[in-house]
Structure 1
Amino acid sequence: MKKPLNFGPTAVILATLPLWIFSSCSTSSSTSTGTTTSEQVASAPAAEPATPPTPQPPIAKKVPKELTVHGDTRIDNYYWLNQREDPEVIAYLEAENAYTKKMMAGTEDLQQKLYQEIVGRIKQQDESVPFKDDGYWYYTRYEAGKEYPIYARKKGSLTAPEEIMVNANERAEGLNYYAAAGMNVSPNNKLLAFGEDTVSRRKYTIRFKDLSTGQMLKDRIPNTTGSAVWANDNKTVYYTVKDPSLRSYKIFKHTLGTPASQDKEVYHEADETFSTFVFKTKSDKYIIIGSGSTLSNEYRYLDASNPNGTFKVIQPRERGLEYSVDHFGDKFYIVTNKDGATNFKLMQTPVSKPGKANWKEVIPHREDVLLEDIEIFKDYLALQERKNGLTQIRVKKWNDPKVDYYIDFNDEAYTAYISTNPDFDSKTLRYQYSSLTTPNSVYDYNMETKQQELKKREEVVGSFNPENYEAKRIYATADDGTKIPISLVYRKGTNLDGSNPTLLYGYGSYGNSINPGFSSVRLSLLDRGFVYAIAHIRGGQEMGRKWYEEGKMMKKKNTFTDFIDASEFLIEQGYTNPNKLFAMGGSAGGLLMGAVINMRPELYKGVIAAVPFVDVVTTMLDTSIPLTTGEFDEWGNPADKASYDYMLSYSPYDNVKAQDYPNLLVTTGLHDSQVQYWEPAKWVAKLRNMKTDDNKVLLHTNLEAGHGGASGRFERYKETALQYAFLLSLLNQNQ
């Protein structure tokens, strides 16, 4: 696949901890009703002048809303919070932010210290490893003190003069949020297409720049995914637009110099359970339009030199048939689950007859190995696979079956993946590698000689020494006997006597594998005695495709019980205890957090739930909400009674009850395009109304950002510092 230019990670964006997770804490609330604004949040009078008053949380008013499905009626008292434009809603969110700030006021010095630690480890002036594509070397660099990257290139040689394609610092001036995406250079190397989002709603406007003059073109294409794909005529591009629910649903063709209103629609994905996208093959020969849902795919192709031609279907969609496409020579290469290949296999088919009847096997299906990705070269084929929860890279030679080997990796818990490799003729494979103790490393590997060169290792500024830390892979046992991998890291010398603060991270959805990679940010916890652990629970894909299948739909509760079993195992093995065990997850991982604290709240001292998907049933019943229709095969469709009943049995919001809960930090973004802000806002309101303890519950809403949190290289770490301060404050650690 010919992807938008991937300039490679730099030290600043390699933290394993999701950057959209930042902290707050909370307190229990009274049960009185009435709306408050940030100015109306009152404090009780102090008994002594020297004793500061205890901040009181805002109390969301109750407006009962009946929601009836399948003869079952639920009462949602906080449904009104979904009115984004209502000043009363904004006032309530602002009041929550003010309360969070007051509750965290005693940690301000600690937050500043943490922030300085985190950014102090980042190399201020940094540059990615350049890669060569069609005679140019492309890279990203950062200037000291600047928040955003500079996208640049050099012609022919790294000693040639620099050409700045996009200086995101200049583009972001005066904006509260800025993100650039989809850098794509025309075949003649003279024009650049890229997307810009200034709201954090992931609706990009595509812009064009003449790289020979440095001038921006007048063309603007709004409401896109941010990526434009060039035809070989250097004037035609294809792009994807979004519907009101933010589903990618149409592909258009644009000719430079013409108004976007005149663009021609070339494909409409009418099935609301599918999304569509467009890309160019690595060979530059074909434009590919893809459509995908959870359980099936469909692709169309067009000769990139014939932009006025008609797209042809490779293989019509079939429910349960998943496949992806790349091109080499006179064949398409297909990674697919055809004929029960649960962990996928590699097939090839003639371009002239691409349907599945002509697919021939190249790499067979294996029960114990998941085929994740491929990279095609003229002489070699590289495969990214996963076995026993760990990624591995395999190299084969097309015309010599004896050349078939794996690149050696030695860490007990690590991640490795194929990186940017645009040159078909190259014998060098670029890959990236890191572990819980090894900073992200970029390697060039000669597939012929098996010699490799370390091109760059993320520099951790300061006194970091990987020898000071220890990483392990251990296994908890679920109630059904399943072995659940746990990757963990801690500072050497830590006594495993049950007294260690431990942060357990989990996700477990969409087949997304959480790999054990390095984070310089995380050192601020490890150096304060924390154990950091990742629970590789079902619903992810760490142990193969079946691992995913066992944690979705009507088996979703395995995800939650796996996390609980991992938590209990860490306690049993002496890593921690319930007074020092913390849990963290974001988005679908926030659903995980909500479910486990309903089920086993006594296991955790504190929990961070970032942009949490907690109102499962109501959201999945509303097809106007982004992502809903495309996820019926992930969670179920509550229009079906059996799915409704099962989802209702675990939905965090619907299962809040009168019980003690751990200290809770909940975060969201007003412009979140994936989990709408009102889900966490409603959840916090209901928790405050029903819980029986005096633990903290804080909500922080970033009123300028969306699902990914704050933009900017350093600004985001203020949120991380707040998050860490939340954890440390619960341990009475203020240093």
Structure 2
Amino acid sequence: MTHHTTSTDTTTPVAASATAPVAETRPVQRTHHGITVTDDFDWLRDKDADDVLAHLHAENAYTESLTADQQPLREAIFAEIKSHTVETDLSVPSRRDGWWYFARTEEGQQYAIHCRVPASDTGDAEADWTPPVIERGVALDGEEVIFDANREAEGTAFFALGGLAVSRDGTLLAYAVDTTGDERFTLRVRRLDTGEELGDVVENVSYGLAFDPTGERIFYMVPDDTWRPYQLWTLNLGGESELLHQEDDPGFWTGFDLSAERDQLVIGSGNSEVAETWILDLTDPTARPERLVSREHQMLHSIDPVRLDGAPHYLVTHDRDLATQNPAPNNMVSVVAAEQITDPSAWRTVLPHSPTVKIDGVHPNRTHLMIAARADTTPRTLILPLSELPAERSAGHPCPTEPRFGEELYSAELASAPFDSPFIRLAYSSWVTPDQVLDYALATGETLLRRATEVPGYDPNQYLVERWWAPAESTDRRVAIPLTVIRHRDVEWNGSNPCVVYGYGSYEASMDPGFAASRLSLLDRGVVYVVAHVRGGGELGRAWYDQGKKLHKKNTFTDFVDATRFVASSGWVDPDRIGCMGGSAGGLLMGAVLNLAPELYRVCVAQVPFVDALTSILDPDLPLSALEWEEWGNPIADEQVYRYMAEYTPYENVRAVNYPAIAAMTSLHDTRVLYVEPAKWVQQLRRTITSDQATPLRDGGSPVVLRTEMDGGHGGASGRYRSWEERAWEYAFLLTGLGLDVEH
């Protein structure tokens, strides 16, 4: 590890005339439950207005001016990320039908190049499903480029794929492209033998594409005006599109998946609390969706078709035993003959409910059942032969096996389980182990390493990972908050080390172990990196999520504050040099904790932050707002929810005290968290807080800046190099705020 000190070099001074943009106040009022709130900056939501665009450009200019001295550090971090990345690289081929599909990346290119080579069928299953060994920059015999995203992205400032599907016979490619960042895609179809674009074009589609077995139909989703996927359509090639299914409840999201045998389409509608499932027989072009499990059961569930002894069955992952009405918040798995799906008394328990292991879903192939589970905070894959599934309700429960690994904190998730393959593919990673692609032999239990991501200049032995548990002092000391603490081996227990605390804590999303080469730029500078697995996430099962949503949402924020205080008192870090970072709902977390305990932090990066949550959720016409009621509650209908949210929504609770330096990152075309939220928040912060905002961060000030990506979406700019530039910008801001050398 290289040790660094604060630099006093001022070779890149900030212009003395740099002043923060001040948005005009144009008061508007909203009234709910007899409570009137005045909003001075809501006019900033009109992104097509010249004055709004001018304001955002002025904010960008101010941000760049005030942080210009960080440019050498940004360049250094970008170079470090680049140095730890093999730019010309490739993925492990995955077999589908008669082809091996894989992707290459090339030095200097922003996007992946999707390729394939023919597969063989020799009758030796192990040989036929062993991927070909490919080399960087070396084409295989028969290799075809099926989609070069770099070529497709030429002339666009933003480029993202919403789906890529090949017909079963390998002749047609369906793809969906977004060139603005608003996550509304255009579907097109191309012949792979000639490159000819067919005349079938559909605008405004959502994520996900699938061919039927004949290759004559393509299934896709369409979003409504609030960006909620609600219609399932089929495009009949050379003909018209046909609506197959529509979800009218504005609080339900809809999507689909192919069954393991790819002869059925499983259609799911629901939210975080209830679901409904339909099935579509793809072997019959006249078939219509058939409902399997109704929302009337008020049960979260998912369904996977499977054949047992040649007879059609369904595997059901569900959070309530319908026969007994007993809750199963961490889910259980049942199996039932297809014709008995509507009779809960016929469901046979495969895996009972466990208070310590959360089952997230299952996936069958011809011989085995793979179970996505979460134990001890981390994702695992469990494996069970189909032959062991119970034939009677009274039968005992089978015991699945689990591949074992040498680390305590790791992710081992199912990447694919092709129906006829003797292998399943696992994606393995940890906080210090770069991504690995593993094939697990179902017959023998042998784990085969197909690829270990190469990280030049990286020695995993130089980094340590620990699990700490912080008491939830603000709410209940009996609650222990899991923390992941990552540091360089050379960091000493002397109370002088800088620290960054990261968190999310919503939607039952877990911050799982995963390697990030960019994180090395913090660790190598002596930063102690902490992930606070606060309530509202899913790390400790459904109860951990339920304790951080709706009228328990404040637990998310107090957990993060308690975690920070615990880390500050650990003896490992300097309490005066702690930064925090989070994005989207994690940006809401940032805004809320800064209002609760601004004195704990020296610097904050809030990425696409959901900081005006109450205003957004009060408007059901905004993107996804109605769907959010299952996460936060419905403040329109429920006064208690309104008052509770009003107490924590960041924009409305900024205080006249000193705050840390803050960088709010957003994108003009983000459809999930509108740019107007951080734009308004920054204005409210600047006019309310008492910190020294005029002095640059490097000189000890606490500026509040807004940086808007004018060509990006919720994930920021597209392309890997632009993504590295964004991360370098964020880390440079954090490191400068933590008093580290800005040039190295």
For 1:682 and 1:579, locate their aligned partners in 2 and report how far apart those are by CA, in whole Å: 28
| In the alignment, structure 1 residue 432 sits paired with structure 2 residue 427 | yes
Q: What is the CA distance between 1:383 and its match in structure 2?
A: 1.5
Correspondent of 1:350 among 330, 337, 343: 337
Q: Structure 1 pair 404/70, CA: closer, same or farther in 2 (3 Å)?
A: closer
Q: What is the match of residue 524 of structure 1?
A: 521
For 2:655 and 2:200, locate their aligned partners in 1 and report how far apart those are by CA, in whole Å: 54
3-state SS of 2:735 partner: helix
| In the alignment, structure 1 residue 648 sits paired with structure 2 residue 653 | no
Normalised by the length of structure 1, the TM-score is 0.91
Correspondent of 1:412 among 408, 423, 441: 408
| In the alignment, structure 1 residue 287 sits paired with structure 2 residue 265 | yes
Q: Which moved more, 1:102-111 or 1:589-598?
A: 102-111
| In the alignment, structure 1 residue 214 sits paired with structure 2 residue 221 | no
Unaligned runs of 5+ in 1: 1-49
Q: What is the match of residue 214 of structure 2?
A: 233
For 1:577 and 1:583, locate their aligned partners in 2 and report how far apart those are by CA, in whole Å: 14
Q: What is the match of residue 40 of structure 1?
A: none
Correspondent of 2:169 among 184, 188, 193: 188
Correspondent of 1:582 among 576, 579, 584: 579
Q: What is the match of residue 478 of structure 1?
A: 472
Q: What is the match of residue 17 of structure 1?
A: none
Q: What is the CA distance between 1:575 and its match in structure 2?
A: 2.3
Q: Which moved more, 1:676-685 or 1:113-122?
A: 113-122
Q: Structure 1 pair 286/80, CA: closer, same or farther in 2 (3 Å)?
A: same
**2:471–2:479 contact (8 Å) kept in structure 1:** yes
3-state SS of 1:177 partner: coil
For 1:581 and 1:356, locate their aligned partners in 2 and report how far apart those are by CA, in whole Å: 56
Spell out, residue by residue over 1:35-75, the C-alpha distance to the aligned partner (whole angstroms, 9 max, x if none). Answer: xxxxxxxxxxxxxxx99515211111111111111110111
Spell out, residue by residue over 1:289-330, the C-alpha distance to the aligned partner (whole angstroms, 9 max, x if none). Answer: 221122111111121111221211001113630111111111
| In the alignment, structure 1 residue 691 sits paired with structure 2 residue 709 | no
CA RMSD of aligned residues (A): 1.5
Spell out, residue by residue over 1:687-725, the C-alpha distance to the aligned partner (whole angstroms, 9 max, x if none). Answer: 001001111101000011110101012111111111111
Q: What is the match of residue 594 of structure 1?
A: 591
**2:98–2:170 contact (8 Å) kept in structure 1:** no
Instruction: Name the amino acid aligned to 1:545.
Output: R
Correspondent of 1:727 among 720, 725, 734: 734
Instruction: Name the amino acid aligned to 2:423.
Output: T
Instruction: Name the amino acid aligned to 1:335.
Output: T
Correspondent of 1:631 among 614, 620, 628: 628
Q: What is the match of residue 450 of structure 2?
A: 455
3-state SS of 2:370 partner: strand
For 1:557 and 1:176, locate their aligned partners in 2 and report how far apart those are by CA, in whole Å: 39
Spell out, residue by residue over 1:482-509, the C-alpha distance to the aligned partner (whole angstroms, 9 max, x if none). Answer: 0110011111021122211111110000
- Detail structure 1 runs of 4+ shifted over 4 Å in the superposition: 400-403
For 2:361 and 2:14, locate their aligned partners in 1 and report how far apart those are by CA, in whole Å: 60
For 1:447 and 1:76, locate their aligned partners in 2 and report how far apart those are by CA, in whole Å: 60
Q: Which moved more, 1:163-172 or 1:427-436?
A: 427-436
Correspondent of 2:557 among 531, 556, 560: 560
For 1:203 and 1:517, locate their aligned partners in 2 and report how far apart those are by CA, in whole Å: 29
Correspondent of 1:713 among 720, 723, 729: 720
Correspondent of 2:372 among 384, 387, 393: 384
Correspondent of 1:674 among 645, 652, 672: 672
Q: Structure 1 pair 452/303, CA: closer, same or farther in 2 (3 Å)?
A: same
Residue pairs, 1:2-17, within 5 angstroms: none
Q: Structure 1 pair 493/629, CA: closer, same or farther in 2 (3 Å)?
A: same
Residue pairs, 1:253-402, within 5 angstroms: 253-258=234-239, 262-318=240-296, 320-329=298-307, 330-339=312-321, 340-355=327-342, 357=344, 358-400=346-388
**1:412–1:471 contact (8 Å) kept in structure 2:** no
For 1:398 and 1:311, locate their aligned partners in 2 and report how far apart those are by CA, in whole Å: 27
| In the alignment, structure 1 residue 514 sits paired with structure 2 residue 486 | no
Instruction: Name the amino acid aligned to 2:114.
Output: Y
Q: What is the match of residue 709 of structure 2?
A: 702
**1:229–1:278 contact (8 Å) kept in structure 2:** no
Q: What is the CA distance between 1:452 and its match in structure 2?
A: 1.1
Q: Which moved more, 1:54-63 or 1:694-703?
A: 54-63
| In the alignment, structure 1 residue 107 sits paired with structure 2 residue 73 | no
| In the alignment, structure 1 residue 571 sits paired with structure 2 residue 568 | yes
Q: What is the match of residue 199 of structure 1?
A: 180
**2:15–2:66 contact (8 Å) kept in structure 1:** no
For 1:230 and 1:356, locate their aligned partners in 2 and report how far apart those are by CA, in whole Å: 32
Identity of aligned residues (%): 37
Q: What is the CA distance between 1:352 and its match in structure 2?
A: 2.4
Q: What is the CA distance between 1:458 and its match in structure 2?
A: 1.1
Q: Structure with the greater relative contact order (CA < 8 A, sep ≥ 6): 1 or 2?
A: 1
**1:231–1:307 contact (8 Å) kept in structure 2:** no
Instruction: Name the amino acid aligned to 2:659.
Output: Y
Aligned residue-pair number: 681
3-state SS of 2:269 partner: strand
Q: Which moved more, 1:608-617 or 1:382-391?
A: 382-391
Q: What is the match of residue 5 of structure 2?
A: none
Instruction: Name the amino acid aligned to 1:566.
Output: A
Correspondent of 1:609 among 597, 606, 609: 606
Q: What is the match of residue 157 of structure 2?
A: 176
Q: What is the match of residue 251 of structure 1?
A: 232
**2:235–2:242 contact (8 Å) kept in structure 1:** yes
For 1:196 and 1:354, locate their aligned partners in 2 and report how far apart those are by CA, in whole Å: 38
Q: What is the CA distance between 1:574 and its match in structure 2?
A: 1.4
Normalised by the length of structure 2, the TM-score is 0.90
Instruction: Name the amino acid aligned to 2:320.
Output: K
Q: What is the CA distance between 1:390 and its match in structure 2?
A: 1.9
Unaligned runs of 5+ in 2: 1-12, 121-131, 133-139, 322-326, 390-397, 693-701
| In the alignment, structure 1 residue 144 sits paired with structure 2 residue 107 | yes
| In the alignment, structure 1 residue 123 sits paired with structure 2 residue 90 | no
Q: Which moved more, 1:622-631 or 1:447-456?
A: 447-456
Instruction: Name the amino acid aligned to 2:295.
Output: R
| In the alignment, structure 1 residue 495 sits paired with structure 2 residue 492 | yes
**1:196–1:226 contact (8 Å) kept in structure 2:** no
Q: What is the CA distance between 1:152 and its match in structure 2?
A: 1.2
For 2:512 and 2:319, locate their aligned partners in 1 and report how far apart those are by CA, in whole Å: 23
3-state SS of 2:197 partner: strand
**2:14–2:65 contact (8 Å) kept in structure 1:** no
For 1:690 and 1:519, locate their aligned partners in 2 and report how far apart those are by CA, in whole Å: 37
For 2:244 and 2:414, locate their aligned partners in 1 and report how far apart those are by CA, in whole Å: 32
Q: What is the match of residue 25 of structure 1?
A: none
**1:225–1:242 contact (8 Å) kept in structure 2:** yes
**1:206–1:226 contact (8 Å) kept in structure 2:** no
Instruction: Name the amino acid aligned to 1:147.
Output: Q
For 1:448 and 1:675, locate their aligned partners in 2 and report how far apart those are by CA, in whole Å: 47
3-state SS of 1:515 partner: coil
**1:194–1:227 contact (8 Å) kept in structure 2:** no
For 2:302 and 2:286, locate their aligned partners in 1 and report how far apart those are by CA, in whole Å: 24
Instruction: Name the amino acid aligned to 1:180.
Output: L
Residue pairs, 1:64-79, within 5 angstroms: 64-79=27-42
Q: What is the CA distance between 1:732 and its match in structure 2?
A: 4.4
Q: What is the match of residue 28 of structure 1?
A: none
| In the alignment, structure 1 residue 465 sits paired with structure 2 residue 443 | no
For 2:201 and 2:232, locate their aligned partners in 1 and report how far apart those are by CA, in whole Å: 16
Q: Which moved more, 1:542-551 or 1:283-292?
A: 283-292
